Each structure stands twice: as C-alpha cells, then as structure tokens.
Structure 1
Amino acid sequence: MVSYFVPRGRFLLKAGNIRKAIQEQQQQQPKHVQQNGNWPVLRHFRQLPSNAASNESTAAKPKPERIRQQTQLQLRRNVLSRWTGFLLRWAPMGLCVFGAIEWQLHKLRCGRDGTQRTASEFQSRVYCSLPLRIMSRCWGWLAACYMPNPLRPYIYGWYSSIFKVNIDEALYPDYNHYTSLAEFFTRPLKEGVRIIDANSPLVSPADGKVLHFGSASDSLIEQVKGVNYSIEDFLGPLQTVEQSNEPLSYAEALKRKRDGSTELYQCVIYLAPGDYHRFHSPAAWEPTVRRHFSGELLSVSPKVASWLPGLFCLNERVLYMGKWKHGFFSYTAVGATNVGSVEIYMDAELKTNRWTGFNVGAHPPSTYEYDELLLNVKQPDQPGQKFSKGDLIGQFNMGSTIVLLFEAPKNFKFDIVAGQKISVGESLGHIADRN
C-alpha cells in the first residue's frame, strides 16, 4: 500500500494538501524570490524559524563599506578597459597619421632645399627599430626546414616563376633534388654555364644588377646615383699606424702606389632573390685581413638603397682587404633582410646573423665595432690564401649585395652601365691604351 502522507515538519500532511502547503511557503519567502517564479523543491519543505531566517539574511547582506570598495574597484576596471580599448583602436591610426605628416614635411624640406628625397634621421631610426634580425633568423630557420617530396615541384616551381629562376642552368635541374628552400637558393650551376673572361683584369663576381660604379677618390662615394656613404665608415680604420699618421686623405692612404698613377674605384652589384646566390673571385688577388661588422639587416633592394643614405655602412657585412697586381683590393659581402647567413668557404670561424638580443632601436655607437682576423700569417707549413679569377668564394642564403673597392690605373675604364644585368665572369672593365 502506497502511503499518501508526506512529511511536513513534525506533522504528517495528506498528499491532497501539498498545494496548500506550497502556497503558504511562498507567502513566507521575500518578494524578490517570489518574483523569480522558481518552483520550490519538495525535499526542502522543512521550515526554518523566523528568527533564523532573519539572521541568515542579515549575515548575507554586505556591509556599506565593502559595497563602496567594490563599486570603486569596478569603476577603475571600467575606466581602464575603456582607455585600453581606445588606445588599441586609435593609436595605430594616430601613428600612421603622424608618420604621413612627417613624411610630407620631409618631402617639402627636400623640395625646398633642392636635394634628393631620401630618409630623414627620424625615418631611418624608425626603420632600423623594426625587428628585422628576428624576422631574418625565423626565415633562415624556415628555409632550412625539410621540404616534403610531393610539395617540392609546386613550391620551387612557384618560386621560379615569381622570381624568374632559370632552373635549366642548375647542376641539378630536378626540383626533387633539393630538400629545403635554403638548398634550392644556393644551388650550384653546370660546368661551363658561366664563361670567365680571360682578357679582362676584373670580372663580375656574381649574377645580379649593377647598382653603381665609378671613382672612389673622395671621402663620400655613391651607393646609388645621388645617395652617398662614407668610405671610412664602410671599411673601418686604416690597418697600420703609419697609414693613420700620414697627412693624407683616407682614400689616398689606402693606396699602395703613391706615385699618382692609380686611383680608387668601386662597383656595387645587387643579387635579387631569383639570381644565382653564390659569388666568385673577380680577379687574382690575395686577402690579408677579414673584418666582420655586426650591424643591421636592412633591405638592400635598389629602392631602399636609393632612399636610405649610408645603407651599406649600417648593415652587417663581411669585408676582406688585401692586394692585387694594381694595388689595394677589397671584397665585401653585405647582409640584408631575410639573409639567413653569409657563408665564406675558406673561413670556417665566421658566423653571421647571430642573435644579439631584443635591442630594438639600439645602434652601435661607431661603425668601428667589428671582429678582425689576420689572414696569410707566415707559417712554414701553410701557404697564404690566394684567389684566382673565377674561384668560388662563398654564398648568400638569400639575395644581397657585393661591393668591390679597388685600386687601378687611372686609365681603367668600366665596360658596364648602371642598372644592367650581369653574370659571373663577364667583364667589369679594362685598362685602356694610353696612346
């Protein structure tokens, strides 16, 4: 037999009177509880004494001081969130507007002074403050990652079509041969694809585009037309104390022949991403010292080179100075954005693109901060390092720039024009007949 009694306090209540008991319980509850319309749970029928309920409501009621503190804290949070949202929303636009105004003012100043429109000191510092070294290291790591075999034809084919890579000249024209992008960038060429001009005293060290060439007899020389850089900041101090103490200009002190028959010249060749990334010796010469300048990794594209003065003096570079048959000779590989490293095959100790920490916007106080290594130290069992014309020197892991600075007779004439495409082994110039 099923019981029709349910417990209610100390009494038994008939099941038919349950609705009446629920209504009485609802009448004893506070008004805000009644307005919610929540149906009471049957297992909570036991009623609390009136004094106990009043004590519980009093204990649950927060104190006025606590309410005031919570209100102030919530107000602060609301103000902070509103200002944070305002800054995140409008600060980028404000920076862009400020940059555009500064750009236009600098443009007006250049037009008023009649000078070429190049980067101001402020624009240069902003550009150098970008995390380009971090980006370059990430790109170097990504380029060295293993490329799955099915993706190689698509990735390398897309890269070749975008940057106009002539894969038929490569020693291995099959895309599946290259296990990573870095290996594809530094691909070797077939034997005989590049012919070294035997009649020219100076040939192109790399495939690329001629940015600038000409005389380097002044303290400031051109990196592109109309944009200069300091030859002293680029090469660093003179090698010997005797050279430093001589009452001559820096360019004149570099010369090995002081009879007035020679002059300093320069040639700048830019390697695009689709070019052959290995570089060779342009002449028969002998390096005597290596200097590694750990600078910035700014882009060295022709547009940036024509916009940022002293670009080659700011960037990381590996400089070899020595001599050839006509006197002083220097060979410089300039680093750039996304160049994972500059590799010199004869110099195993050289490490470029090293991690230098989060020194955003920090610049070395002088371009004379470099690591120096003396080469060709006289040892009985080890001959000095010498290069012949066309010898392989090293490679870039992405496009960059080669700068030649050399001493030659005054009748040396260039065989190139600015902006032309040139390949390894093609003549850069010749020595004209004085007659």
Structure 2
Amino acid sequence: MPTSEKLFALGQHVLPQHMLSRLMGSITRCRNSVFKDAMIRSFIKLYGVDMAQAAEPDPTAYGCFNEFFTRALKPETRPIAPEPDAVVCPADGTVSQIGAITEGRIIQAKGKNFSVAELLGGHAEQAELFANGRFATIYLSPRDYHRLHMPLDGTLKEMTHVPGKLFSVNAATTANIPNLFARNERVIALFDTEVGPMALVLVGAIFVASIETVWHGVVTPPTSTTVRTWHYPENPPVLSRGQEMGRFNMGSTIIVLFGDNVVEWEESLVPDSIVRMGQSLARLTHQTAQSSDHRQLTA
C-alpha cells in the first residue's frame, strides 16, 4: 500500500468527521438555483454521470444537489433478474469483499477482518443467526446510483441505529483501518425471508449526510450517542424483491448477510467486480417457502 494512501487513511483520525458531514449535508441541500445548478453540472462532468438513465434527465429540475444525488432511474435501466431463485444485488457499486462468514468473522481487506457481532452492534444472538453464513460488501462511489433495494422479499423485524465514527469507506481506508465497518455509524435492518434471516447493514461514512429507509424516513442525523432499536411486532413493513428500501445521502457501503447454506454467490463475482442493482448477486440453494424449522428473528 503506497505511503500516501496510508497517510490519507490515518489522517482521518484527527478530522472532525461528524461536523464535516453536517456541513456537507447543509451544502447539498442548498436550494439556491445558481449554486445548486453549478454544483450538479460540475459533478456530472467530473464523474461522467449518464443523465439519460435518470427518470428526470434535466439537471436543473432538481431542487438541490441531494435530490440529484439520490435521483431515481428509469426502471428499464436496472432490470430485475428474472430467475425465481436469483438474489438481487441491492445497489450499484463495486464488490469490496464477498464470501463465507468464517468463525463469526467477515473479511474487510487483505489481512483484516471483523466480527459479525461487532458489526451488528454487539448483539451475539443476532450474530448467531448468520454463523457460517454468507456476506457481500458493496461499495458505492460518488458516481453510483444511491438508492438501495431488496435482494429478496422480506418482512422487517427490527432496525437498529449504531452510532460511531465516519471514516471513509474507500479501498485505501478499508485496507488500513481495522474494524472499519464495525466502527462506523450504521443502520442495521433485519428481515425474515423465505430462506430465513437476512440483514442489510447500511454503513455511514464521512460526508454521508444521512441514511434513510422507506419505512422510517431519515434515521441519522440527528446522531445519537446510544444504540437505538425499533421493533416491528405488529403490521411490519413487507418489501418485495427489487423494491427500494433506503438510500444514502452521499456515498457509502452496504453489507448483505445471509445464514448458513441458503445462498451461493455468483461465481463471477470477486473483489473489485462492478455490479448494478437488479442483477443476480447470488442463487438460492433451495427454492421453497419459508418452513417452520427456519430460525426466526425475534420480534
């Protein structure tokens, strides 16, 4: 790893991460037409954004930069994998790591890993649901589509907000800062699916002004100093495969967790693979309705 990348990663320890993120949130929500149009046009040029894919292709039609950043796409640009046993990729981005959960730990980068229990806010019982299971970590760069979608049909059982740091989640930082995803602020959504429990972990990062879900709205900010959990024992949200479940207001990472022997990742997917929302991320190892012997998430 080049020295410059190590310095970039280590320098983040002294940054006022939350203050900078709040400032970015204010800037991206500025509704001054001259300022926001200039910011949007500069971003499109810098990152080569294809506005032909956007549901609203006119850059000046967005009320602020954040509305542009979280723009909807035309449905035909992100078709949902038609195979009934396909597990849908939840986001546009790059595969950071993908594979098996080994002894309760997830690979972060070469030579670095972290525990599922730490990722899930210290909940050992929840971590046990994913013992020997499968994980996929997808990094969303600034140029990517920033809405998140359901890999499978799911019934929401619980959502937890875990406060934390806001380190960058790019490759240089993940290679240098231990336990990065278990240290950063995150929102954890636990679902029941036809193949048992599924967790979608939305990891915050510096300049990620907020994380929101379709059933709750903005979860953060404001940033709490304590872990907050919401349970859904009655009339829980039910979301379909491919349906939007949340979004990042600026870029970040989503981690998908499944239990033991229920999915197999597509063989073509390896670290640094480019993925698009809607493509097949994995295949179910069996195509059956959820049976009574599946482990259930506690309400």
CA distance in 1 between counterparts of 2:254 and 2:192 reads: 17
After superposition, give the CA deviation of every residue in 1:186-221 in whole Å (9 maximum; x if it has no partner).
111113211000214311101111100100131322
CA distance in 1 between counterparts of 2:196 and 2:223 reads: 37
Instruction: Give 3-state SS (helix, strand or coil) of 2:215's partner.
Output: coil
Cα distance, 1:137–1:409 mapped onto 2, change above 3 Å: same
State yes or no: 1:230 paired with 2:98.
no
Report if the CA contact (8 A) 2:166-2:205 is conserved.
yes
CA distance in 2 between counterparts of 1:151 and 1:216 reads: 43
Cα distance, 1:268–1:355 mapped onto 2, change above 3 Å: closer
Identify the residue that residue 27 of structure 1 maps to in structure 2: none
State yes or no: 1:213 paired with 2:65.
no
User: Would you say how many aligned residue pairs link Structure 1 and Structure 2?
Assistant: 281
CA distance in 1 between counterparts of 2:161 and 2:36 reads: 37
Identify the residue that residue 134 of structure 1 maps to in structure 2: 19
Identify the residue that residue 346 of structure 1 maps to in structure 2: 215
CA distance in 1 between counterparts of 2:265 and 2:170 reads: 26
Report if the CA contact (8 A) 1:118-1:308 is conserved.
no
CA distance in 2 between counterparts of 1:235 and 1:304 reads: 21
Give unmatched runs, 5+ long, in structure 2.
287-299
Identify the residue that residue 46 of structure 1 maps to in structure 2: none
State yes or no: 1:274 paired with 2:149.
no
Cα distance, 1:411–1:334 mapped onto 2, change above 3 Å: closer
Report if the CA contact (8 A) 1:169-1:189 is conserved.
yes
After superposition, give the CA deviation of every residue in 1:325-344 in whole Å (9 maximum; x if it has no partner).
22221011111111110011
Instruction: Give 3-state SS (helix, strand or coil) of 1:351's partner.
Output: strand
Identify the residue that residue 184 of structure 1 maps to in structure 2: 68
- TM-score, length-normalised on structure 2? 0.85
Q: Letter of the aligned partner of 1:230 in structure 2?
A: S
Moved over 4 A (4+): none
State yes or no: 1:429 paired with 2:282.
yes
Q: Letter of the aligned partner of 1:213 in structure 2?
A: I
Cα distance, 1:400–1:228 mapped onto 2, change above 3 Å: same
Q: Which has the larger radius of gyration?
A: 1
Report if the CA contact (8 A) 2:213-2:219 is conserved.
no
Q: Letter of the aligned partner of 2:79 in structure 1?
A: I
Cα distance, 1:146–1:429 mapped onto 2, change above 3 Å: same
Report if the CA contact (8 A) 2:90-2:148 is conserved.
yes
State yes or no: 1:385 paired with 2:237.
yes
CA distance in 1 between counterparts of 2:88 and 2:28 reads: 31
Identify the residue that residue 42 of structure 2 maps to in structure 1: 158
Matches within 5 A, 1:57-72: none
Cα distance, 1:331–1:355 mapped onto 2, change above 3 Å: closer
Which residue among 25, 30, 38 is the counterpart of 1:145?
A: 30
After superposition, give the CA deviation of every residue in 1:266-289 in whole Å (9 maximum; x if it has no partner).
000011111111111111122211
After superposition, give the CA deviation of every residue in 1:363-410 in whole Å (9 maximum; x if it has no partner).
x8xxxx5111111x13xxxx3221211001111110110000111526
- TM-score, length-normalised on structure 1? 0.60
Which residue among 78, 81, 104 is the counterpart of 1:197?
A: 81
Give unmatched runs, 5+ long, in structure 1.
1-102, 105-116, 244-249, 256-261, 357-363
Residue 431 of structure 1 and its aligned partner are, at CA, apart by 4.2
State yes or no: 1:409 paired with 2:261.
yes
Identify the residue that residue 296 of structure 1 maps to in structure 2: 165
After superposition, give the CA deviation of every residue in 1:299-334 in whole Å (9 maximum; x if it has no partner).
111211111110011111000113222222101111
State yes or no: 1:336 paired with 2:220.
no
Q: Letter of the aligned partner of 1:422 in structure 2?
A: V
Instruction: Give 3-state SS (helix, strand or coil) of 1:192's partner.
Output: helix
- Determine which structure has the larger helix proportion and give its number: 1
Instruction: Give 3-state SS (helix, strand or coil) of 1:343's partner.
Output: strand
Q: Letter of the aligned partner of 1:374 in structure 2?
A: H
Report if the CA contact (8 A) 1:178-1:184 is conserved.
yes
CA distance in 2 between counterparts of 1:194 and 1:201 reads: 15
Residue 157 of structure 1 and its aligned partner are, at CA, apart by 2.5
Cα distance, 1:343–1:410 mapped onto 2, change above 3 Å: closer
CA distance in 2 between counterparts of 1:270 and 1:214 reads: 15
Report if the CA contact (8 A) 1:118-1:309 is conserved.
no
CA distance in 2 between counterparts of 1:181 and 1:411 reads: 38
Q: Letter of the aligned partner of 2:51 in structure 1?
A: I
CA distance in 1 between counterparts of 2:146 and 2:179 reads: 24
Greater relative contact order, per chain length (Cα 8 Å cut-off, separation 6+): 2
Which residue among 56, 75, 85 is the counterpart of 1:172?
A: 56
CA distance in 1 between counterparts of 2:57 and 2:119 reads: 38
Q: Letter of the aligned partner of 1:212 in structure 2?
A: Q
Residue 355 of structure 1 and its aligned partner are, at CA, apart by 5.5
